[in-house]
Structure 1
Protein backbone atom coordinates (compact mmCIF):
# COMPACT_ATOMS: atom_id res chain seq x y z
CA UNK A 1 0.00 0.00 0.00
CA UNK A 2 2.84 2.42 0.80
CA UNK A 3 4.43 1.91 -2.60
CA UNK A 4 1.17 2.79 -4.33
CA UNK A 5 1.68 6.40 -3.18
CA UNK A 6 5.24 6.69 -4.49
CA UNK A 7 5.48 8.17 -8.02
CA UNK A 8 8.15 6.91 -10.43
CA UNK A 9 11.62 8.27 -9.71
CA UNK A 10 11.92 9.70 -13.23
CA UNK A 11 8.87 11.88 -12.66
CA UNK A 12 10.17 13.14 -9.31
CA UNK A 13 13.57 13.94 -10.77
CA UNK A 14 11.98 15.80 -13.67
CA UNK A 15 9.79 17.78 -11.28
CA UNK A 16 12.68 18.70 -8.97
CA UNK A 17 14.86 19.76 -11.87
CA UNK A 18 12.13 21.84 -13.55
CA UNK A 19 11.27 23.48 -10.22
CA UNK A 20 14.92 24.30 -9.51
CA UNK A 21 15.38 25.92 -12.91
CA UNK A 22 11.83 27.29 -13.19
CA UNK A 23 12.07 26.02 -16.76
CA UNK A 24 11.14 22.86 -18.63
CA UNK A 25 13.73 23.73 -21.27
CA UNK A 26 16.65 23.97 -18.86
CA UNK A 27 15.48 20.83 -17.03
CA UNK A 28 15.48 18.99 -20.36
CA UNK A 29 19.03 20.18 -21.05
CA UNK A 30 20.27 19.04 -17.65
CA UNK A 31 18.60 15.62 -17.89
CA UNK A 32 19.43 15.16 -21.58
CA UNK A 33 15.76 14.82 -22.52
CA UNK A 34 13.41 16.75 -24.75
CA UNK A 35 11.21 19.52 -23.42
CA UNK A 36 8.22 17.44 -24.45
CA UNK A 37 9.44 14.51 -22.33
CA UNK A 38 9.80 16.76 -19.28
CA UNK A 39 6.34 18.24 -19.83
CA UNK A 40 4.88 14.75 -20.17
CA UNK A 41 6.55 13.58 -16.93
CA UNK A 42 5.18 16.58 -15.05
CA UNK A 43 1.68 16.12 -16.49
CA UNK A 44 1.65 12.44 -15.46
CA UNK A 45 2.89 13.38 -11.98
CA UNK A 46 0.15 16.01 -11.59
CA UNK A 47 -2.47 13.50 -12.76
CA UNK A 48 -1.20 10.94 -10.26
CA UNK A 49 -1.19 13.41 -7.37
CA UNK A 50 -4.42 15.09 -8.36
CA UNK A 51 -2.97 18.57 -7.86
CA UNK A 52 -1.43 21.21 -10.08
CA UNK A 53 2.30 21.67 -9.39
CA UNK A 54 3.05 24.47 -11.85
CA UNK A 55 1.17 27.40 -13.28
CA UNK A 56 2.06 28.71 -16.72
CA UNK A 57 2.44 32.48 -16.49
CA UNK A 58 3.51 34.47 -19.57
CA UNK A 59 5.46 31.63 -21.15
CA UNK A 60 7.18 30.66 -17.93
CA UNK A 61 6.37 28.20 -15.15
CA UNK A 62 5.76 29.10 -11.52
CA UNK A 63 5.32 26.65 -8.65
CA UNK A 64 1.89 26.52 -7.07
CA UNK A 65 1.64 26.44 -3.28
CA UNK A 66 1.18 22.67 -3.47
CA UNK A 67 4.20 22.40 -5.78
CA UNK A 68 6.38 24.48 -3.45
CA UNK A 69 5.44 22.31 -0.46
CA UNK A 70 5.96 19.09 -2.43
CA UNK A 71 9.38 20.25 -3.63
CA UNK A 72 10.45 21.01 -0.08
CA UNK A 73 9.30 17.60 1.13
CA UNK A 74 10.89 15.45 -1.59
CA UNK A 75 14.27 17.20 -1.95
CA UNK A 76 15.69 15.51 1.12
CA UNK A 77 14.50 12.09 -0.03
CA UNK A 78 16.05 12.57 -3.48
CA UNK A 79 19.35 13.70 -1.93
CA UNK A 80 19.38 10.64 0.35
CA UNK A 81 18.65 8.39 -2.62
CA UNK A 82 21.52 10.00 -4.54
CA UNK A 83 23.92 9.63 -1.62
CA UNK A 84 22.94 6.00 -1.10
CA UNK A 85 23.46 5.25 -4.78
CA UNK A 86 26.87 6.91 -4.85
CA UNK A 87 27.88 5.04 -1.72
CA UNK A 88 26.93 1.61 -3.01
CA UNK A 89 28.68 2.37 -6.32
CA UNK A 90 31.87 3.10 -4.37
CA UNK A 91 31.88 -0.52 -3.20
CA UNK A 92 32.45 -1.83 -6.73
CA UNK A 93 35.41 -4.20 -6.72
CA UNK A 94 35.27 -4.72 -2.94
CA UNK A 95 34.55 -8.19 -1.63
CA UNK A 96 33.66 -6.88 1.83
CA UNK A 97 32.40 -3.49 2.98
CA UNK A 98 33.26 -2.15 6.43
CA UNK A 99 30.93 0.55 7.77
CA UNK A 100 32.40 2.39 10.75
CA UNK A 101 31.17 5.26 12.90
CA UNK A 102 34.06 7.39 14.18
CA UNK A 103 34.56 10.46 16.30
CA UNK A 104 35.67 13.35 14.07
CA UNK A 105 38.98 14.26 15.71
CA UNK A 106 39.90 10.63 16.35
CA UNK A 107 39.14 9.83 12.73
CA UNK A 108 41.10 12.80 11.40
CA UNK A 109 44.11 12.85 13.71
CA UNK A 110 44.63 9.19 14.70
CA UNK A 111 42.78 6.76 12.44
CA UNK A 112 43.14 8.37 8.99
CA UNK A 113 46.98 8.49 9.06
CA UNK A 114 47.06 4.76 9.89
CA UNK A 115 44.19 3.42 7.76
CA UNK A 116 46.49 2.59 4.82
CA UNK A 117 48.01 -0.11 7.01
CA UNK A 118 44.67 -1.85 7.28
CA UNK A 119 44.04 -1.52 3.55
CA UNK A 120 47.35 -3.25 2.85
CA UNK A 121 46.48 -6.06 5.24
CA UNK A 122 42.94 -6.46 3.91
CA UNK A 123 42.95 -5.08 0.35
CA UNK A 124 39.53 -6.56 -0.47
CA UNK A 125 37.79 -4.30 2.04
CA UNK A 126 35.73 -1.31 1.03
CA UNK A 127 35.79 1.31 3.78
CA UNK A 128 32.99 3.68 4.69
CA UNK A 129 33.76 6.03 7.60
CA UNK A 130 31.00 8.25 8.97
CA UNK A 131 30.95 10.67 11.89
CA UNK A 132 28.81 9.91 14.93
CA UNK A 133 29.22 11.86 18.16
CA UNK A 134 26.82 9.89 20.36
CA UNK A 135 26.07 6.18 20.93
CA UNK A 136 23.41 4.77 18.64
CA UNK A 137 21.41 1.58 18.16
CA UNK A 138 23.28 -0.95 15.99
CA UNK A 139 19.96 -2.54 15.06
CA UNK A 140 18.88 0.75 13.46
CA UNK A 141 22.13 2.20 12.06
CA UNK A 142 23.99 0.24 9.32
CA UNK A 143 27.35 0.17 11.10
CA UNK A 144 29.64 -2.78 11.83
CA UNK A 145 31.44 -0.97 14.63
CA UNK A 146 32.21 2.40 16.15
CA UNK A 147 34.92 4.33 17.99
CA UNK A 148 33.56 5.45 21.35
CA UNK A 149 35.00 7.75 23.98
CA UNK A 150 33.67 7.62 27.51
CA UNK A 151 32.80 4.75 29.80
CA UNK A 152 32.62 1.17 28.42
CA UNK A 153 28.83 1.26 28.42
CA UNK A 154 26.97 1.00 25.11
CA UNK A 155 23.61 -0.76 25.04
CA UNK A 156 23.74 -3.95 23.02
CA UNK A 157 27.46 -3.64 22.23
CA UNK A 158 30.81 -5.06 23.29
CA UNK A 159 33.48 -2.45 24.10
CA UNK A 160 37.14 -3.29 23.45
CA UNK A 161 39.53 -0.83 25.19
CA UNK A 162 42.02 0.98 22.98
CA UNK A 163 43.75 3.55 25.19
CA UNK A 164 43.16 6.25 27.78
CA UNK A 165 43.90 9.95 27.36
CA UNK A 166 46.68 12.14 28.60
CA UNK A 167 45.33 15.68 28.29
CA UNK A 168 48.08 18.31 28.32
CA UNK A 169 48.18 22.15 28.31
CA UNK A 170 49.61 23.53 25.07
CA UNK A 171 49.93 26.75 23.12
CA UNK A 172 51.93 28.16 20.26
CA UNK A 173 55.45 29.27 21.14
CA UNK A 174 54.53 32.83 20.12
CA UNK A 175 51.51 32.84 22.44
CA UNK A 176 53.56 31.49 25.36
CA UNK A 177 56.31 34.05 24.89
CA UNK A 178 53.93 36.97 24.30
CA UNK A 179 52.10 36.29 27.56
CA UNK A 180 55.29 35.32 29.44
CA UNK A 181 53.71 32.11 30.80
CA UNK A 182 56.02 30.71 33.48
CA UNK A 183 53.62 29.28 36.06
CA UNK A 184 50.27 27.46 36.03
CA UNK A 185 48.60 30.42 37.76
CA UNK A 186 49.40 32.64 34.80
CA UNK A 187 47.18 30.47 32.59
CA UNK A 188 44.16 31.75 34.51
CA UNK A 189 44.85 35.25 33.17
CA UNK A 190 45.33 34.49 29.44
CA UNK A 191 42.84 33.49 26.72
CA UNK A 192 41.98 29.81 26.96
CA UNK A 193 40.19 27.55 24.47
CA UNK A 194 37.32 25.41 25.73
CA UNK A 195 35.79 22.17 24.40
CA UNK A 196 32.03 22.51 24.69
CA UNK A 197 31.54 18.82 25.50
CA UNK A 198 34.12 18.96 28.33
CA UNK A 199 33.29 22.15 30.19
CA UNK A 200 35.07 21.03 33.38
CA UNK A 201 38.48 20.38 31.82
CA UNK A 202 40.19 23.64 32.77
CA UNK A 203 38.57 23.60 36.19
CA UNK A 204 40.02 20.12 36.78
CA UNK A 205 43.45 21.12 35.52
CA UNK A 206 43.60 24.23 37.73
CA UNK A 207 42.56 22.10 40.72
CA UNK A 208 45.36 19.66 39.88
CA UNK A 209 47.80 22.56 39.67
CA UNK A 210 46.60 24.02 42.97
CA UNK A 211 45.42 27.23 41.29
CA UNK A 212 42.37 28.99 42.71
CA UNK A 213 40.52 30.96 40.04
CA UNK A 214 37.00 31.97 39.11
CA UNK A 215 37.93 32.18 35.42
CA UNK A 216 38.21 28.46 34.65
CA UNK A 217 35.10 28.43 32.43
CA UNK A 218 36.00 31.51 30.41
CA UNK A 219 37.22 31.31 26.82
CA UNK A 220 36.13 30.64 23.26
CA UNK A 221 34.23 27.38 22.88
CA UNK A 222 34.67 24.77 20.16
CA UNK A 223 32.87 21.53 19.39
CA UNK A 224 35.91 19.46 18.36
CA UNK A 225 39.53 19.05 19.41
CA UNK A 226 40.69 19.45 15.81
CA UNK A 227 39.25 22.98 15.83
CA UNK A 228 40.90 23.80 19.15
CA UNK A 229 44.26 22.48 17.93
CA UNK A 230 44.14 24.66 14.83
CA UNK A 231 43.14 27.72 16.86
CA UNK A 232 45.95 27.07 19.34
CA UNK A 233 48.52 26.74 16.53
CA UNK A 234 47.48 30.20 15.37
CA UNK A 235 47.91 31.71 18.85
CA UNK A 236 44.20 32.07 19.73
CA UNK A 237 44.79 30.80 23.24
CA UNK A 238 46.06 28.04 25.52
CA UNK A 239 44.37 24.65 25.11
CA UNK A 240 43.93 21.33 26.85
CA UNK A 241 44.21 18.60 24.22
CA UNK A 242 44.85 14.84 24.34
CA UNK A 243 48.51 14.35 23.53
CA UNK A 244 48.01 11.67 20.88
CA UNK A 245 45.92 14.12 18.79
CA UNK A 246 48.76 16.63 18.49
CA UNK A 247 51.94 14.57 18.22
CA UNK A 248 52.79 16.16 14.86
CA UNK A 249 52.29 19.71 16.16
CA UNK A 250 54.47 19.00 19.20
CA UNK A 251 57.19 17.38 17.09
CA UNK A 252 57.26 20.28 14.63
CA UNK A 253 57.14 22.95 17.32
CA UNK A 254 53.85 24.42 16.11
CA UNK A 255 52.58 23.71 19.63
CA UNK A 256 54.59 23.50 22.83
CA UNK A 257 53.69 21.82 26.06
CA UNK A 258 53.34 24.47 28.74
CA UNK A 259 53.64 22.35 31.92
CA UNK A 260 54.16 18.69 32.84
CA UNK A 261 50.85 18.47 34.69
CA UNK A 262 48.50 16.16 32.79
CA UNK A 263 44.86 15.30 33.21
CA UNK A 264 44.52 11.53 33.36
CA UNK A 265 40.92 10.87 32.46
CA UNK A 266 38.97 7.94 33.91
CA UNK A 267 37.32 7.54 30.52
CA UNK A 268 38.98 5.93 27.49
CA UNK A 269 38.59 5.17 23.79
CA UNK A 270 36.92 1.92 22.80
CA UNK A 271 36.10 -0.05 19.68
CA UNK A 272 32.49 -1.15 20.04
CA UNK A 273 30.51 -3.62 17.95
CA UNK A 274 27.10 -5.31 18.29
CA UNK A 275 27.07 -8.18 20.77
CA UNK A 276 24.24 -10.12 19.09
CA UNK A 277 25.77 -10.19 15.60
CA UNK A 278 28.38 -12.63 14.32
CA UNK A 279 31.34 -10.62 13.19
CA UNK A 280 32.16 -10.89 9.52
CA UNK A 281 35.80 -11.61 8.59
CA UNK A 282 36.43 -8.00 7.58
CA UNK A 283 35.20 -6.76 10.98
CA UNK A 284 37.33 -9.31 12.81
CA UNK A 285 40.34 -8.25 10.76
CA UNK A 286 39.74 -4.57 11.50
CA UNK A 287 39.23 -5.26 15.20
CA UNK A 288 42.56 -7.15 15.41
CA UNK A 289 44.40 -4.49 13.42
CA UNK A 290 42.96 -1.60 15.46
CA UNK A 291 43.78 -3.19 18.81
CA UNK A 292 47.33 -3.88 17.60
CA UNK A 293 47.75 -0.27 16.42
CA UNK A 294 46.46 1.02 19.75
CA UNK A 295 48.87 -1.26 21.62
CA UNK A 296 51.83 0.03 19.58
CA UNK A 297 50.70 3.63 20.14
CA UNK A 298 50.56 3.02 23.90
CA UNK A 299 54.04 1.46 23.84
CA UNK A 300 55.44 4.44 21.91
CA UNK A 301 54.00 6.90 24.42
CA UNK A 302 55.30 4.90 27.40
CA UNK A 303 58.78 4.81 25.83
CA UNK A 304 58.73 8.63 25.66
CA UNK A 305 58.00 9.02 29.38
CA UNK A 306 60.96 10.11 31.54
CA UNK A 307 62.70 7.43 33.56
Structure 2
Protein backbone atom coordinates (compact mmCIF):
# COMPACT_ATOMS: atom_id res chain seq x y z
CA UNK A 1 0.00 0.00 0.00
CA UNK A 2 1.30 3.45 -0.89
CA UNK A 3 1.84 5.94 1.94
CA UNK A 4 -0.59 8.82 2.45
CA UNK A 5 -0.56 11.47 -0.29
CA UNK A 6 0.89 14.12 2.01
CA UNK A 7 4.07 12.03 2.26
CA UNK A 8 4.45 11.77 -1.52
CA UNK A 9 5.81 15.08 -2.80
CA UNK A 10 5.74 15.71 -6.54
CA UNK A 11 8.79 14.81 -8.62
CA UNK A 12 9.33 18.48 -9.50
CA UNK A 13 9.71 19.39 -5.82
CA UNK A 14 12.03 16.45 -5.18
CA UNK A 15 14.12 17.19 -8.27
CA UNK A 16 14.60 20.81 -7.22
CA UNK A 17 15.61 19.80 -3.71
CA UNK A 18 18.00 17.07 -4.89
CA UNK A 19 19.72 19.35 -7.39
CA UNK A 20 20.18 22.09 -4.81
CA UNK A 21 21.39 19.62 -2.19
CA UNK A 22 23.90 18.06 -4.59
CA UNK A 23 25.26 21.32 -5.99
CA UNK A 24 24.95 23.34 -2.80
CA UNK A 25 23.54 26.21 -4.84
CA UNK A 26 20.11 27.46 -5.86
CA UNK A 27 21.73 29.09 -8.90
CA UNK A 28 23.41 25.87 -10.04
CA UNK A 29 20.22 23.87 -9.46
CA UNK A 30 18.20 26.35 -11.49
CA UNK A 31 20.68 26.15 -14.37
CA UNK A 32 20.64 22.35 -14.29
CA UNK A 33 16.85 22.18 -14.24
CA UNK A 34 16.41 25.04 -16.73
CA UNK A 35 14.33 27.02 -14.23
CA UNK A 36 14.64 30.44 -12.62
CA UNK A 37 16.26 30.75 -9.21
CA UNK A 38 13.00 31.96 -7.72
CA UNK A 39 11.15 28.92 -9.11
CA UNK A 40 13.64 26.51 -7.51
CA UNK A 41 13.46 28.43 -4.21
CA UNK A 42 9.64 28.25 -4.25
CA UNK A 43 9.69 24.50 -4.96
CA UNK A 44 12.11 23.81 -2.12
CA UNK A 45 10.03 25.94 0.25
CA UNK A 46 6.88 24.10 -0.86
CA UNK A 47 8.60 20.79 -0.12
CA UNK A 48 9.62 21.99 3.35
CA UNK A 49 6.07 23.14 4.03
CA UNK A 50 4.65 19.82 2.88
CA UNK A 51 7.05 17.84 5.07
CA UNK A 52 6.94 20.27 7.98
CA UNK A 53 10.74 20.15 8.26
CA UNK A 54 13.45 22.67 7.40
CA UNK A 55 15.80 21.11 4.85
CA UNK A 56 18.22 24.00 4.32
CA UNK A 57 19.84 26.62 6.51
CA UNK A 58 19.74 29.89 4.59
CA UNK A 59 22.57 32.30 5.25
CA UNK A 60 22.53 35.44 3.11
CA UNK A 61 23.08 34.21 -0.46
CA UNK A 62 24.09 30.64 0.49
CA UNK A 63 22.29 27.48 1.54
CA UNK A 64 23.45 24.61 3.71
CA UNK A 65 21.69 21.33 4.37
CA UNK A 66 20.34 20.68 7.83
CA UNK A 67 21.08 17.29 9.40
CA UNK A 68 17.58 16.16 8.43
CA UNK A 69 18.13 17.55 4.92
CA UNK A 70 21.37 15.58 4.47
CA UNK A 71 19.65 12.32 5.36
CA UNK A 72 16.62 13.09 3.18
CA UNK A 73 18.83 14.04 0.23
CA UNK A 74 20.57 10.65 0.27
CA UNK A 75 17.26 8.80 0.29
CA UNK A 76 15.73 11.00 -2.42
CA UNK A 77 18.79 10.69 -4.66
CA UNK A 78 18.58 6.88 -4.58
CA UNK A 79 14.83 6.96 -5.24
CA UNK A 80 15.16 9.35 -8.18
CA UNK A 81 17.95 7.23 -9.65
CA UNK A 82 15.77 4.12 -9.44
CA UNK A 83 12.88 5.92 -11.12
CA UNK A 84 15.20 7.16 -13.86
CA UNK A 85 16.68 3.70 -14.41
CA UNK A 86 13.23 2.10 -14.51
CA UNK A 87 12.06 4.68 -17.05
CA UNK A 88 15.10 4.15 -19.27
CA UNK A 89 14.67 0.37 -19.11
CA UNK A 90 11.00 0.67 -20.04
CA UNK A 91 11.81 2.96 -22.94
CA UNK A 92 14.52 0.60 -24.21
CA UNK A 93 12.34 -2.50 -23.83
CA UNK A 94 8.66 -1.49 -23.93
CA UNK A 95 7.54 -5.06 -24.68
CA UNK A 96 10.07 -7.41 -23.15
CA UNK A 97 11.06 -5.77 -19.89
CA UNK A 98 14.21 -5.94 -17.82
CA UNK A 99 15.45 -8.56 -15.40
CA UNK A 100 17.84 -7.36 -12.72
CA UNK A 101 19.70 -10.48 -11.64
CA UNK A 102 22.17 -10.87 -8.79
CA UNK A 103 24.82 -13.50 -9.50
CA UNK A 104 27.62 -15.25 -7.68
CA UNK A 105 30.87 -14.13 -9.36
CA UNK A 106 32.34 -17.44 -10.52
CA UNK A 107 28.98 -19.04 -11.34
CA UNK A 108 28.12 -15.93 -13.34
CA UNK A 109 31.34 -15.76 -15.35
CA UNK A 110 31.98 -19.48 -15.80
CA UNK A 111 28.51 -20.97 -16.22
CA UNK A 112 25.86 -18.31 -16.80
CA UNK A 113 27.52 -15.67 -19.01
CA UNK A 114 28.54 -18.09 -21.81
CA UNK A 115 24.93 -19.31 -22.03
CA UNK A 116 23.07 -16.00 -21.76
CA UNK A 117 23.20 -15.47 -25.51
CA UNK A 118 20.90 -18.44 -26.01
CA UNK A 119 18.38 -17.00 -23.56
CA UNK A 120 18.45 -13.54 -25.12
CA UNK A 121 18.07 -15.01 -28.61
CA UNK A 122 15.01 -16.93 -27.48
CA UNK A 123 13.62 -13.85 -25.67
CA UNK A 124 14.61 -10.88 -27.87
CA UNK A 125 12.61 -8.28 -25.95
CA UNK A 126 14.21 -8.96 -22.57
CA UNK A 127 17.27 -7.21 -21.19
CA UNK A 128 19.26 -8.70 -18.31
CA UNK A 129 21.28 -6.54 -15.94
CA UNK A 130 23.80 -8.45 -13.82
CA UNK A 131 25.10 -7.40 -10.42
CA UNK A 132 27.31 -9.36 -8.03
CA UNK A 133 26.08 -10.41 -4.60
CA UNK A 134 27.90 -12.94 -2.43
CA UNK A 135 25.28 -13.22 0.31
CA UNK A 136 21.48 -13.06 0.65
CA UNK A 137 19.94 -9.59 0.85
CA UNK A 138 16.53 -8.02 1.34
CA UNK A 139 14.67 -7.81 -1.98
CA UNK A 140 12.58 -4.99 -0.53
CA UNK A 141 15.64 -2.77 -0.22
CA UNK A 142 17.23 -3.38 -3.61
CA UNK A 143 15.89 -3.10 -7.15
CA UNK A 144 16.78 -6.72 -7.95
CA UNK A 145 14.26 -9.19 -9.33
CA UNK A 146 16.09 -12.45 -8.62
CA UNK A 147 19.37 -13.89 -7.42
CA UNK A 148 21.48 -17.00 -7.89
CA UNK A 149 21.81 -18.44 -4.40
CA UNK A 150 24.17 -21.13 -3.14
CA UNK A 151 23.39 -22.41 0.32
CA UNK A 152 20.58 -23.88 2.36
CA UNK A 153 17.04 -23.74 0.93
CA UNK A 154 16.14 -20.52 2.70
CA UNK A 155 16.07 -16.83 1.81
CA UNK A 156 14.39 -14.27 4.09
CA UNK A 157 11.33 -12.95 2.33
CA UNK A 158 12.06 -14.85 -0.87
CA UNK A 159 10.93 -17.89 -2.84
CA UNK A 160 13.42 -20.49 -4.08
CA UNK A 161 13.51 -22.65 -7.21
CA UNK A 162 16.02 -25.52 -7.04
CA UNK A 163 18.68 -25.43 -9.74
CA UNK A 164 21.32 -28.08 -9.03
CA UNK A 165 23.57 -29.84 -6.57
CA UNK A 166 27.34 -29.42 -6.47
CA UNK A 167 30.36 -31.70 -6.16
CA UNK A 168 33.77 -30.42 -5.09
CA UNK A 169 37.21 -31.89 -5.71
CA UNK A 170 40.60 -31.06 -4.14
CA UNK A 171 42.76 -29.67 -6.94
CA UNK A 172 46.27 -28.32 -7.42
CA UNK A 173 48.81 -27.77 -10.16
CA UNK A 174 50.55 -30.86 -11.65
CA UNK A 175 53.93 -29.59 -10.41
CA UNK A 176 52.59 -29.08 -6.89
CA UNK A 177 51.20 -32.61 -6.76
CA UNK A 178 54.46 -34.11 -8.02
CA UNK A 179 56.57 -32.06 -5.62
CA UNK A 180 54.54 -33.08 -2.56
CA UNK A 181 53.84 -36.67 -3.69
CA UNK A 182 50.14 -36.44 -2.92
CA UNK A 183 48.54 -39.88 -2.97
CA UNK A 184 46.32 -40.49 0.07
CA UNK A 185 43.71 -38.18 1.63
CA UNK A 186 45.83 -37.72 4.78
CA UNK A 187 48.65 -36.28 2.64
CA UNK A 188 46.81 -32.95 2.29
CA UNK A 189 47.47 -32.24 5.98
CA UNK A 190 51.14 -31.73 5.10
CA UNK A 191 50.57 -29.04 2.42
CA UNK A 192 48.99 -25.55 2.33
CA UNK A 193 45.22 -25.70 2.00
CA UNK A 194 43.21 -22.92 0.35
CA UNK A 195 39.91 -22.02 2.01
CA UNK A 196 36.76 -20.19 0.86
CA UNK A 197 35.38 -17.61 3.28
CA UNK A 198 31.83 -18.63 2.40
CA UNK A 199 32.57 -22.30 3.17
CA UNK A 200 34.76 -22.26 6.28
CA UNK A 201 34.19 -25.92 7.14
CA UNK A 202 34.62 -27.39 3.64
CA UNK A 203 38.02 -28.97 4.30
CA UNK A 204 36.88 -30.37 7.65
CA UNK A 205 33.92 -32.01 5.94
CA UNK A 206 36.13 -33.44 3.20
CA UNK A 207 38.65 -34.89 5.68
CA UNK A 208 35.84 -36.37 7.76
CA UNK A 209 34.27 -37.82 4.62
CA UNK A 210 37.61 -39.48 3.79
CA UNK A 211 38.06 -40.80 7.33
CA UNK A 212 41.13 -38.66 8.05
CA UNK A 213 41.62 -37.64 11.72
CA UNK A 214 42.73 -34.05 12.28
CA UNK A 215 43.02 -31.48 15.06
CA UNK A 216 42.75 -28.26 13.06
CA UNK A 217 42.86 -27.15 9.45
CA UNK A 218 44.45 -23.83 8.57
CA UNK A 219 45.57 -22.05 5.41
CA UNK A 220 44.99 -19.08 3.13
CA UNK A 221 41.50 -17.61 2.93
CA UNK A 222 39.82 -16.43 -0.29
CA UNK A 223 36.45 -14.79 -0.90
CA UNK A 224 35.94 -16.14 -4.44
CA UNK A 225 36.45 -19.48 -6.17
CA UNK A 226 38.12 -17.88 -9.17
CA UNK A 227 40.90 -16.44 -7.01
CA UNK A 228 41.36 -19.72 -5.14
CA UNK A 229 41.54 -21.60 -8.46
CA UNK A 230 44.21 -19.24 -9.77
CA UNK A 231 46.17 -19.65 -6.56
CA UNK A 232 46.01 -23.43 -6.96
CA UNK A 233 47.14 -23.13 -10.58
CA UNK A 234 50.03 -20.99 -9.36
CA UNK A 235 51.22 -23.75 -7.06
CA UNK A 236 50.31 -22.07 -3.78
CA UNK A 237 48.32 -24.98 -2.38
CA UNK A 238 45.33 -27.30 -2.73
CA UNK A 239 41.81 -25.90 -3.15
CA UNK A 240 38.43 -27.61 -2.89
CA UNK A 241 36.71 -26.47 -6.07
CA UNK A 242 33.31 -27.14 -7.70
CA UNK A 243 33.90 -29.62 -10.51
CA UNK A 244 31.52 -27.92 -12.94
CA UNK A 245 33.33 -24.58 -12.63
CA UNK A 246 36.86 -25.83 -13.39
CA UNK A 247 36.29 -28.05 -16.42
CA UNK A 248 38.50 -25.97 -18.71
CA UNK A 249 41.38 -25.95 -16.23
CA UNK A 250 41.11 -29.72 -15.84
CA UNK A 251 40.95 -30.25 -19.61
CA UNK A 252 44.00 -28.06 -20.18
CA UNK A 253 45.93 -29.73 -17.40
CA UNK A 254 46.35 -26.53 -15.42
CA UNK A 255 44.66 -28.26 -12.52
CA UNK A 256 44.68 -31.92 -11.54
CA UNK A 257 42.96 -33.77 -8.70
CA UNK A 258 45.30 -33.56 -5.73
CA UNK A 259 43.43 -36.58 -4.35
CA UNK A 260 40.74 -38.15 -6.52
CA UNK A 261 38.00 -37.98 -3.89
CA UNK A 262 34.92 -35.91 -4.67
CA UNK A 263 32.36 -34.87 -2.09
CA UNK A 264 28.84 -33.57 -2.61
CA UNK A 265 28.26 -30.20 -0.96
CA UNK A 266 25.57 -29.89 1.67
CA UNK A 267 24.34 -26.75 -0.05
CA UNK A 268 22.75 -26.42 -3.48
CA UNK A 269 22.17 -23.75 -6.12
CA UNK A 270 18.80 -22.00 -6.22
CA UNK A 271 17.10 -19.15 -8.01
CA UNK A 272 15.74 -16.79 -5.36
CA UNK A 273 13.11 -14.10 -5.95
CA UNK A 274 10.38 -12.24 -4.04
CA UNK A 275 7.04 -14.02 -4.12
CA UNK A 276 5.26 -11.00 -5.56
CA UNK A 277 7.61 -11.06 -8.58
CA UNK A 278 7.08 -14.75 -9.31
CA UNK A 279 4.92 -14.12 -12.37
CA UNK A 280 6.88 -11.14 -13.70
CA UNK A 281 7.30 -12.17 -17.37
CA UNK A 282 11.11 -11.71 -17.70
CA UNK A 283 11.65 -13.60 -14.44
CA UNK A 284 9.24 -16.39 -15.38
CA UNK A 285 10.98 -16.76 -18.76
CA UNK A 286 14.43 -16.84 -17.15
CA UNK A 287 13.35 -19.33 -14.48
CA UNK A 288 11.96 -21.67 -17.12
CA UNK A 289 15.07 -21.30 -19.30
CA UNK A 290 17.72 -21.83 -16.61
CA UNK A 291 15.90 -24.84 -15.19
CA UNK A 292 15.73 -26.44 -18.64
CA UNK A 293 19.33 -25.47 -19.42
CA UNK A 294 20.65 -27.11 -16.27
CA UNK A 295 18.49 -30.17 -16.90
CA UNK A 296 19.81 -30.60 -20.43
CA UNK A 297 23.38 -30.00 -19.26
CA UNK A 298 23.14 -32.66 -16.59
CA UNK A 299 21.63 -35.25 -18.91
CA UNK A 300 23.40 -34.38 -22.14
CA UNK A 301 26.83 -33.17 -21.00
CA UNK A 302 27.53 -34.63 -17.56
CA UNK A 303 31.16 -33.49 -17.75
CA UNK A 304 30.06 -29.90 -17.22
CA UNK A 305 27.90 -30.31 -14.14
CA UNK A 306 28.72 -32.82 -11.47
CA UNK A 307 25.82 -33.51 -9.15
CA UNK A 308 27.29 -36.33 -7.13
Same topology, TM > 0.5: yes
Instruction: Give the Cα separation in 2 of the matches to 1:283 and 1:123.
Output: 14
Distance 1:302 1:8, change over 3 A: closer
Q: Does structure 2 retain, via aligned residues, the 8 Å contact 1:135–1:148? A: no
Unaligned runs of 5+ in 1: none
Instruction: Give the Cα separation in 2 of the matches to 1:276 and 1:9.
Output: 26
Distance 1:219 1:20, change over 3 A: farther
TM-score, with structure 2 as normaliser: 0.74
Using the TM superposition, give the Cα deviation of residue 29 of structure 1 relative to its aligned residue in structure 2, in angstroms.
3.8
Q: Does structure 2 retain, via aligned residues, the 8 Å contact 1:156–1:276? A: no
Instruction: Give the Cα separation in 2 of the matches to 1:277 and 1:35.
Output: 43
Q: 1:113 aligns to what SS in structure 2? A: helix
Q: 2:119 aligns to what SS in structure 1? A: helix
Instruction: Give the Cα separation in 2 of the matches to 1:86 and 1:37.
Output: 26
Distance 1:70 1:289, change over 3 A: same
Distance 1:28 1:242, change over 3 A: same
Distance 1:42 1:186, change over 3 A: same
1:86 paired to 2:82? no
1:166 paired to 2:167? yes
Q: What's the C-alpha RMSD, in Å, of the aligned pairs?
A: 4.1
Unaligned runs of 5+ in 2: none
How many equivalent pairs are there?
298
Could you tell me which residue of structure 2 aligns to residue 44 of structure 1?
Answer: 46
Distance 1:6 1:80, change over 3 A: closer
Instruction: Give the Cα separation in 1 of the matches to 2:273 and 2:240.
Output: 30
Could you tell me which residue of structure 2 aligns to residue 188 of structure 1?
Answer: 189
Instruction: Give the Cα separation in 2 of the matches to 1:167 and 1:74.
Output: 47
Using the TM superposition, give the Cα deviation of residue 110 of structure 1 relative to its aligned residue in structure 2, in angstroms.
1.3
Instruction: Give the Cα separation in 1 of the matches to 2:179 and 2:61.
Output: 68
Could you tell me which residue of structure 2 aligns to residue 264 of structure 1?
Answer: 264
Using the TM superposition, give the Cα deviation of residue 245 of structure 1 relative to its aligned residue in structure 2, in angstroms.
1.8
Q: Does structure 2 retain, via aligned residues, the 8 Å contact 1:172–1:234? A: yes
- Return 112-121 or 90-99, whichever deviates more: 90-99
Q: Does structure 2 retain, via aligned residues, the 8 Å contact 1:95–1:126? A: no
Q: 1:62 aligns to what SS in structure 2? A: strand
> 1:189-246 deviations in whole A, cap 9, x for unaligned?
4433322332221012222344333232x23444443453455455554321211122
From 4, 16, 19, the counterpart of 1:17: 19
Q: Does structure 1 retain, via aligned residues, the 8 Å contact 2:164–2:270? A: yes
TM-score, with structure 1 as normaliser: 0.74
